[in-house]
Structure 1
C-alpha cells in the first residue's frame, strides 16, 4: 500500500475542471458561555442568572487526494488537535482517489456543495482561480504568517495577482545515480553531472561503455518545459499573452532532446511512456540516473534493495540559470464555503511548521514553512545513513534555492501538450528544430489569445 500511495501522491497530474462561485457567507459565531446581564443587581436562589446555551459546533469538510489509509493516523491526529484548540469547529475528512478528484469537484461545485478546504496542486487549483472561485489568501492570511512560507512557493499559488492557496508539502527533485554503472563506464562515482551539458556527455560515455542508458527524460508531464526554463528560456511575456521561446535558447533546448534521441542516448520509450518507466528502468539496473523526488527511492527500496545500496544522491541537474524546480501541493478554500475563516484557520494549522515536520518524518517530502528546515531531521544525517537519508538531506539543502518553474497558466494542459507534440516531432525527424519551434510558437499564441 505504501508503494502505491507514495507513487500516486507525487505524480504531478494536472487535471482540468470548471467551477462556479458560491455564496460568500460570514463565519459562524464562536462558542460563548457567559452570564447574561441581570435586570437588577440583586439575585436570589430562586432567580439565578441565566446562561446562554452553548453554540452548536460548525462543521467544515476537508478533501485530500490519495492520503488514506496510509496516513490516517497523522491526518486524524492533526484534526483532533485542531478541534481541541477550536471547540466550536468540527472537521469532516474526505479522502478522494486522485483520478476521481476532477469529477467529484465538478459535481460538488455544480451542486454548490464544494468542500471548505481542498488539497490540490497549483496548476489544478488555478482552474478554479480563473473563475474567481477561491478565496484570496493574501486577504485572509496575515502578512507575518504569509512570510513564514517560502516566498517562491507562496507565489506559485498566484493567478491574476491573487493568491488562491496555502502551500502544504513539497518535493524537490534530486539526482539519484547508480554508482556501479558509473564505475562500469569509467566515470567517477563521486562526480555526477551537474549541468545538462555534462549530462549529455555522461550519457554518451555510459551508452558506449556499458550499452545502458544514462537517463530518461519523461515527456508525459512538464519535464520538457522545466528543462527549457532551466536552460534560460522565457516561455511567455510577463503578461502571459505571447510565446517568447522561439529564440536561440529555445533552439538549444529543443536540440538537446533531439540529439539525445537521434543518437540513441535515451530509450525509445520516452515518446510513449512516462516517469514510471524511468523508475522501472532504474530499479532494473538499466538506467544510470534518476531525476526525481527522494520519495521514489522507497519504491526502489522495496523492489530492488541492491540498486538502492548502489545509489548516491546529488543536487538536481540544471542549466546555465542554476534554477532548481520544486513541486508543490496546497490547500485552497472555495468561496462557496459558509465558514471561510474557520477553513483558512484549519489550512494554516495543517500547514504550520510543527505539523509539517511530523508529516515529513512519515514520508519523504519537504515542508513549505522555511523555519521547519531548521529541524535536525533535514540537515543532520543519522548514524549509518541510508541512501534515502542522504537524498533527504540533499533535497532539503537545495529547497531555499528552488522554485515552481512553471507558474499557473490559463489553458496549461493545451500549452504543455502542444509543446511536447512539437518537440517529439523534431525528435522523430518529422520536423526540423526550427519548424518545430515555429509550430509550437504559433499554437501557444493561439491558446494564449483565448
Structure 2
C-alpha cells in the first residue's frame, strides 16, 4: 500500500512538473505566458485530420516569428462555434479572434457583436484582397473583419464522354442552350433506364439561386438595397430547372440522388453524370479517387451569349469579437493569418481559394499539371463570382425565399407565384 501511495504521489508530482514546463500550451486567453507573451485565443472549426495540422502549423510559425504574442488554438465543432461565440460576447468573455461567415459580417457589426478594425488598417492593407471580398467586411464605410478564404463554382466535364458523344472535348458548353444540347447527347439510356445522365442543374455544389443569379445578369435577390426576387429572368430560371426534371423524370432524378456519395461514390467520379457543377476543392476528390478520369473545367455557361458566366461565392473571415481582451495583439495575428505567406501555405496544402491576391497568384505559380489548371480556373472565375452579404434591413431573408423555391420545384405552385410570394414575405420582414 505504501509503495502504491508513493507511486501515485510521484505521478502527480510529475504531472505538476510537466504542467509547469508547458506554460505556453496551458496558457489561457486574457493572461500571459510564463515568459510574458500575451495570449490570444483563436477559435476555429478546423478540426479535421487535413485542416487542423495546417492551421496549427500557421499558428506555430506565427508564434515563432515574434516574442510578444502566443496564439492558442481552440477548436469548436461547426454546429457550436458561432452559438458559443454569441454567448461569450454577451457574457463579456469572448475569444480574441474567430473565423466567421463572410456574408453576415454586417449583421454582427450592426448588432455590436464584433470589433471595428479601421484604426488598424489602411488602403495598402485593403489592396491585398480581392475587391469583391473586401466589400463584404465593410459596414457603413468601416471594416469589421478581414477576408480569409472564398469559393466559386465551375463546370467539371468528362472529356471521354464528350468524345463518345461526338462532342469536342476542348469546347465545353458556353450557353444554357448548348448545355441542354450537350446534355441530351451525353445521356446514355438502357431502355427506359439511364446509365448516364448528361447533366442536371441541381446536382453538385449548386442550387436554384445560382442559376437565377446567372440568368439575371449576376443580380442576387437584393440588388443595391432593392428587392430583385420576382424578376422575369429568375422566373425563367426556375422554369428552366423544372424543364430538366420533366425531361429526365422524377424517378430518374430520385434514383440517381439516392446513390450519391463522396469519393468513388460521387456520380461524376463514377462516370454516371457527364457534367457537374462544384467548387474548386472538388478537384481534390478527382485527384485522389478519379485518377483515370479525363476531365476539363469551365465557367458556368451563360444564360445567353454576352450575359456573363456569373457564379455565386461564399467564404470566411477573421474577426475580433466585441469585448475581446487583446484586440491589438489579435489584429497582429490576423494580419499574419491573412498575409501572403500564411495564405499561400493554406492554399497549397488545402487547395482552397484564398482572399489574398498575391498568395493566390503565387499558388498558381507553384502548382503543376491538373492542380495548376483547376486552381488557375477558380482564381480567374472570381472575376465573375458574386458575393451576397446579408443586408441589415433584411436579416435571414433566405428563410423567406427558400421554402417558396422548394414549393415551385416540388410542383406545389408555379415559379411566378412562388417568387411573388417570396418577395412579398421578404418585404414584410424589412427592418426599419
| Of 66-75 and 194-203, the range deviating more from structure 2 | 66-75
Asked if structure 1 preserves the Cα contact closer than 8 Å seen for 2:107 and 2:395, the reply is no
Partner of residue 21, structure 2: none
1:247 to 231, 243, 246: 231
Partner of residue 4, structure 1: none
Partner of residue 94, structure 2: 114
> Aligned partners of 2:104, 2:83: CA distance in 1, in Å?
13
Partner of residue 199, structure 2: 215
Partner of residue 268, structure 1: 253
Task: Give a deviation string over 1:51-99, Cα, whole Å, max 9, x none.
Answer: xxx9832211001122454344433333233334432211111122212
Alignment of 1:348-427 (within 5 A): 348-375=335-362, 377-379=363-365, 382=368, 385=369, 387-399=370-382, 401-410=383-392, 414-427=396-409
How far 1:102 sits from its partner (Å)?
Answer: 3.2
Asked if structure 2 preserves the Cα contact closer than 8 Å seen for 1:62 and 1:118, the reply is yes
Asked if structure 1 preserves the Cα contact closer than 8 Å seen for 2:58 and 2:337, the reply is yes
1:101 aligns with 2:81: yes
Task: Give a deviation string over 1:379-428, Cα, whole Å, max 9, x none.
Answer: 5763xx2x4442122222333x1444322334978532433322232233
How far 1:147 sits from its partner (Å)?
Answer: 1.4
Alignment of 1:106-185 (within 5 A): 106-185=86-165
Partner of residue 9, structure 2: none
Task: For residue 99 of structure 1, give the secondary structure of its aligned residue in structure 2.
Answer: coil
How far 1:271 sits from its partner (Å)?
Answer: 12
Task: Give a deviation string over 1:170-210, Cα, whole Å, max 9, x none.
Answer: 22322211122223333222211133332233223333778
Task: Give a deviation string over 1:209-233, Cα, whole Å, max 9, x none.
Answer: 7832233444898732232222224
Partner of residue 18, structure 1: none
Task: For residue 222 of structure 2, give the secondary structure of its aligned residue in structure 1.
Answer: coil
Task: Give a deviation string over 1:16-54, Cα, whole Å, max 9, x none.
Answer: xxxxxxxxxxxx9x9xxxxxxxxxxxxxxxxxxxxxxx9
Asked if structure 2 preserves the Cα contact closer than 8 Å seen for 1:184 and 1:209, the reply is no
Name structure 2 gaps, 5 residues minimum: 1-29
In the superposition, relative to structure 1, how do residues 369 and 275 fare at CA in structure 2: closer, same or farther (>3 Å)? farther
> Aligned partners of 1:215, 1:158: CA distance in 2, in Å?
38
How far 1:167 sits from its partner (Å)?
Answer: 0.8
1:286 aligns with 2:272: yes
1:336 to 323, 328, 331: 323
2:295 to 311, 323, 333: 311
> Aligned partners of 1:292, 1:172: CA distance in 2, in Å?
8
| Of 329-338 and 119-128, the range deviating more from structure 2 | 119-128
Task: Give a deviation string over 1:325-356, Cα, whole Å, max 9, x none.
Answer: 33322101112112111111111111101211
Aligned residues: 392
Task: For residue 119 of structure 1, give the secondary structure of its aligned residue in structure 2.
Answer: strand
Partner of residue 420, structure 2: 438
Task: For residue 98 of structure 1, give the secondary structure of its aligned residue in structure 2.
Answer: coil
> Aligned partners of 2:135, 2:260: CA distance in 1, in Å?
27
How far 1:321 sits from its partner (Å)?
Answer: 3.4
How far 1:310 sits from its partner (Å)?
Answer: 1.9
1:76 aligns with 2:56: yes
In the superposition, relative to structure 1, how do residues 71 and 410 fare at CA in structure 2: closer, same or farther (>3 Å)? same
Task: For residue 176 of structure 1, give the secondary structure of its aligned residue in structure 2.
Answer: strand
Asked if structure 2 preserves the Cα contact closer than 8 Å seen for 1:213 and 1:265, the reply is no
In the superposition, relative to structure 1, how do residues 221 and 105 fare at CA in structure 2: closer, same or farther (>3 Å)? farther
| Of 421-430 and 65-74, the range deviating more from structure 2 | 65-74
Name structure 1 gaps, 5 residues minimum: 1-27, 31-53
User: Over aligned residue pairs, what C-alpha RMSD do you find?
Assistant: 3.5
Task: For residue 283 of structure 1, give the secondary structure of its aligned residue in structure 2.
Answer: coil
Asked if structure 2 preserves the Cα contact closer than 8 Å seen for 1:226 and 1:406, the reply is no
Q: Give the alignment's TM-score, normalised by structure 1.
A: 0.76
